[in-house]
Amino acid sequence: MNLNKWLENVTSAAIVGHVNPDGDCVGSCLGLYNYLIENFKLEVDVYLEPFSEPLKFMSGSEKVQTEFAENKQYDLCFALDSGDENRIGAGKQCFKTAAKKICIDHHATNKGYGDENLICPEISSTAEVLTSLMENDKISKATAECLYTGIVHDTGVFQYSNVSPNTLRIAADLLEKKIDASSIISNTFVEKTYKQQRILGFALSNSVLFMDNKCIFSIIREADMERFGVNALDLEGIVAHLRDTSGVECAIFLYQTNAEEFKVSLRSKSIVDVGKVAAYYGGGGHARAAGCTLNGSARDMINNISRLVEAQLKEQG
Ligand code: 5GP
Ligand code: MN
**At residue 316, does pLDDT exceed 90?**
no
**291 Cα–ligand 1 center, Å:** 4
The residues with which 307 forms a beta bridge, in sequence order, are: none
**212 Cα–ligand 2 center, Å:** 31
The residue nearest atom 6 of ligand 1, judged by CA position, is 290
- Summarised one tens digit per residue, pLDDT across range 75-124 is 999 999 999 999 999 999 999 999 999 999 999 999 999 999 999 999 99
Q: What is the mean pLDDT of residues 221-229?
A: 98
How many other β-carbons are positioned within 10 Å of the β-carbon of residue 70?
9
Q: What is the pLDDT of residue 1?
A: 72
Question: Ligand 1 pocket check: which of 125, 265, 295 to mutate, most ligand atoms within 8 Å of Cβ?
Answer: 265
Q: What is the pLDDT of residue 2?
A: 78
- Summarised one tens digit per residue, pLDDT across range 172-213 is 999 999 999 999 999 999 999 999 999 999 999 999 999 999
Average pLDDT of the chain, as a whole number: 96
Cβ atoms of 39 and 138 within 8 Å: the answer is yes
The two counts, helices (H) then strands (E), for the chain are 12, 11
**27 Cα–ligand 2 center, Å:** 10
Using CA of residue 152, residue 90, residue 264, residue 122, what is the dihedral sign? Answer: negative
Q: What is the mean pLDDT of residues 225-252?
A: 97
Q: What is the mean pLDDT of residues 118-144?
A: 98
Q: Which residues line ligand 1 (CB under 6 A)?
A: 18, 83-84, 87, 107, 109, 239, 265, 283-286, 289-293
- Summarised one tens digit per residue, pLDDT across range 44-56 is 999 999 999 999 9
- Residue 253 alpha carbon, nearest atom of ligand 1: 2
Q: pTM of the predicted model, to two decimals? A: 0.95
Residue % of the chain over a pLDDT of 90: 97
Query: DSSP of 263-294, one letter per residue?
Result: EEEEEESSS--HHHHHHHTT-EE-SSEEEEEE
Cβ atoms of 305 and 293 within 8 Å: the answer is no
Residue % of the chain over a pLDDT of 70: 100
Cβ atoms of 305 and 264 within 8 Å: the answer is yes
Q: What is the pLDDT of residue 69?
A: 80
**At residue 301, does pLDDT exceed 80?**
yes
- Residue 107 alpha carbon, nearest atom of ligand 1: 10
**236 Cα–ligand 1 center, Å:** 12
